[in-house]
Structure 1
Amino acid sequence: MTSTQTIRAAVLGASGYTGADLIRLAARHPNIEITALIAKAHAGQPLAKVYPHFASLDLPALVTSDEVDWNEVDVAFCGLPHGTAHSEIAKLPENVKVVDMSADFRLRDLGTYAQWYGGEHGAPELADGAVYGLTEHYRDAIADARLVACPGCYPTAVLLALLPLAKTGLIATDGIIIDAKSGVSGAGRSLKQNILFSEAGEGLSPYGVGTHRHVPEIEQELGAAAGTSVTVNFTPHLVPMTRGELCTCYVQLGTGKTADDARQGLEDAYAGSPFVRVVEEGVIPATQHVRGSNYCHIGVFADRIPGRAIVISTIDNLVKGSAGQALQNFNVMYGLDETTALEQLPLFP
């Protein structure tokens, strides 16, 4: 497509954090015109009333999905909760492309979806054609997709760190332990007791121990890369900060392999990827190094236990872990430069 072409976009779930961050990024995209903002609970209100930081933008008012003229939409970004997104996406005209930030189309096995998300999938006819939206590993399929299912924030950080290693045998696929930590924005904007300031502040707490819904997504992709069934030990933690995510992965190296081999394997895998940076030996990735950006930093360290390594990855959970990756996938879908509207550097301090 030409770089001057205008693509008309709708945002479903525009009042949530992921929807809002998508709007923030898309507002500076030279090819996107936002023609519809959908937020059922806030329909009829200007977006600036829900998010005052958008007051300087000329955006349409929030509406319900039924009020949208879908003939005026080319692509829909979906930031709705899991269990809701699939039914809304199923209603969209077939000519509207979809970039979904929910969990509803990430899992290829719909039985696994029902097991982990508590109900049967509402649009199985669409699930077969959905492409998993981890941009760095599925670019070719994304380019031809009508529906792209963006990964969860934890799987994004974990899979960017481990997929190339599992695929090439640089690590073993058993004995993987993942210690993950995320900021409070990952829990969404709805009122929950555990994310109240006085409950989440000044403390660190694990949650979803042994039962987090991102586990089957991680296992699905690692298994596909390695060509064998994979089971991981994954525990997430809530950190009293707004943005940011850091995953520390403890892995068994492949026979005869070293941490240096693993680092080189990652460097080779991401040589053509503008947003993934394998940091120099001895540099420790930290959430403040990527905050507000679409970057992922990955570091590799030899464990003091022989034959094992520690792989650390960090992202901004709302950008590379959600809205930024969605826009990156959009760029690939429309043949645009992958970095368009995502060039902003991390915000520091």
Structure 2
Amino acid sequence: MQFPSLISIATAVPEHVLLQTEAAAAAGTLFSERYSDYERVSRVFQTAGIHKRHVVRPLEWFFEPHGWPERTAAYLDGALQLFIRAATVALEKAGLNAREIDTIVTVSSTGIATPSLEAHAHGPMGFREDVHRVPVFGLGCAGGATGLSVAAKLAQARPGTNVLFVAVELCSLAFRLDELTKANIVATALFGDGAAACILRAGEKGIAEVEASGEHTWPNTLDIMGWSVDPQGFGVIFARAIPPFAEAHIGPAVSGILERAGLGMSDVDRFVCHPGGKKVITALERALSLDQGSLDHERAVLSDYGNMSAPTVLFVLERVVQAGLPHRSVISALGPGFTASCVSLKKAA
């Protein structure tokens, strides 16, 4: 059996840059007089470890209330642009054109599009009429890892075919003026927008082989992370603190995933983790028995882009690849379910 290979990786962000200081000032204007606990909760803007983010709409757009029609229009416009930009660069790096893509896996959980995004991109990109489309919704922050796993398995099932995987998330569109909650304020301080794309193919040397993948879903954890849905749009759910849960539970879960693949924690040269937040990164270092500060690319991506949900771990992977991929890396991300998703990469010899 031929391992699928990661052939290329590319990322893209919107043009609008939002400094964390600007976000904090805007949030203060919008919430401080309406939310009694705002002063205490607003400290997250200073402690989140974020310098700036990129968003699909200018800051002024968020000062007005928006319902499903406006949010969906912004999603279709912004997500399609990012899809095309990230996919185009991934194709260029792989030396391919769009008509050579056989399968497209699209991961996105921050908007609703039917037809899905890859169908909207079909004409502008020039994909073939017989391209196989696999849109995936609901993975949240774990989508970068799980989507890569799905794309790799599809590439492995048909050696020689080209699989394009694109993760696009516009988290900023979930911003809510009407949600006077801690979860909404934290989301306002954390989330940004972005996209990442990868090309995978079995039977050819690339950046790395995708040698294994797996997931672990904890029972009775549906309340940790997710969306609520109402007439105004999505509302973020953070019912339980994620850092302490990650520190207590992620180590055995990752160990179990690796064990099922015939690997141990000592076989991993570098963990590539989804940087859900500054405290989450610290919790992951403790849970995975890593030296404090070792997840340096994770902290840098968080500072430059915030938490973009699914694509974020692929932004980290891109930096790890640019710095020099070690022999074996394990991508790890946590998402709704509550689920840990892992993908093991072995550097091409």
Superposition TM-score, scaled by structure 1 size: 0.30
Higher share in helix: 2
Higher share in strand: 2
By relative contact order (CA 8 Å, sep 6+), the higher-ranking structure is: 2
